[in-house]
A and B are shown apart, each in its own frame.
Chain A
Amino acid sequence: MYLKVLLYMDSNQEQIQNLSEIRNLMERSSRFLSLSGLSGISAGIIALLGAGVAFFYLDYDERYFSINRYFIDKLDLFFQSKIGFLIADALIVLVLALGSGIYFTTRKARRNKLKVWDSTTKRMLINVFIPLSAGGIFCLALLYNGIFFLVAPATLVFYGLALVHTSKYTLPDVRILGISEIITGLVASFLVGYGLLFWAFGFGILHILYGAIMYYRYERKTNLSVHNS
């Protein structure tokens, strides 16, 4: 027994190293760590541009409207002629944001010499897509039934839920972003006339903000050390 303790005392340094290796393996095997803050920033910028296009495409009446007017004046009839353009706009934003996200995340993984596609990636994507596809189908149901004014809040709430759910499998900061998106969506679902503004805030401003925080927290140091070496 004494001998063992003595042996351990000698190998203290080794045990500390073992512990840090254990921690590292636990993180690396269970979380997708290559998610880049830059992908949040670029997705946010793209979302703001997309919202800007929609903003100028719509007439003043349609940018903000009161829910009473929506039902009494059949504001939805105005929208229906423009809804095709708005959906196309949203889809382009989605594709560009996803594309830039994949680009920056792949770049970060390559810099850190991690694999982009492994079991943590798969698990993260599966967990993102379950709530997100439920939300997508729900929004299609809203469009189908002509309830356009709840589409923006619904996308925000479902996206936030997807992020909160997925944060277990990637960087923990994603959870706070998710909660912010849910709150934004819930507020927007009461102030229904301002969907476009809330949408721009949730998908634009919040992404840029949290992307910047994550970038400074996880990537700036490693990039600097790469440049220095």
Chain B
Amino acid sequence: MKEIISGLNKIFDSRIRLGIMSVLVVNDRVDFNTLKELLDITDGNLASHIAALEKNGLIEILKQFIGKKPNTRYAVTEKGRISFRHHLDYLDKLLKSQGV
């Protein structure tokens, strides 16, 4: 239990990472620019958060070519979907237990 909570904390601590996950759980595949516009952040910032999520196995990177242009899209993994849902459930319970 303790492990799960601390693990969740580390990964979903950042609002940007939370934001990336929110977008990916409701969309099959999302490309870099769409994420960037939705979250309104810089390239470097988004790239580093994406790398962190990928390293933890929560999202996967799908590379393809549109004509000759490389196009990178992201999708949530099964592990990512489950951890995100747990995180939301946890937040929900926490807020309810505080009578909010």
Main secondary structure of the interface of B (DSSP, over half): helix
Size range of the chain A interface in the assembly: 20 to 34
Interface residue? A96 (CB, 8 A): no
A21 touches B19 (CB 8 A): yes
Tell me the minimal C-beta distance from B22 to chain A in angstroms.
Answer: 4
A4 to B95, CA, bound (A): 14
Residues of A within 8 A of B19 (CB): 21-22, 25
Which residues of A sit under 8 angstroms from B92, Cβ to Cβ?
19
Q: Collect the chain A residues with CB atoms within 8 Å of residue B98's CB.
A: 9, 12
Report the stretch among B26-34, B44-52, B56-64 that lies at the interface.
Answer: B26-34
Return chain B residues, CB-CB under 8 Å to A118.
34, 37
Which of A16, A18, A25, A28 has most chain B Cβ within 10 Å? A25
Q: Which of B15, B25, B88, B94 contacts A8 (CB 8 A)?
A: B94
> In the complex, how many residue pairs between chain A and chain B have their CB atoms under 8 Å apart?
57
Asked if B5 lies at the interface with its beta carbon under 8 angstroms from chain A, I say yes
A22 touches which one: B6, B18, B31 (CB < 8 A)?
B18
Distance to closest chain A CB from B14 (angstroms): 10
* A115 to B2 alpha-carbon distance, docked (Å): 43
Inter-chain contact A22/B34, CB cutoff 8 Å: no
A119 → chain B closest CB, angstroms = 5
A22 to B12, CA, bound (A): 12
B residues near A9, Cβ cutoff 8 Å: 98
Residues of A within 8 A of B (CB): 1, 4, 8-9, 12, 15-16, 18-19, 21-23, 25-26, 28-30, 115, 118-119
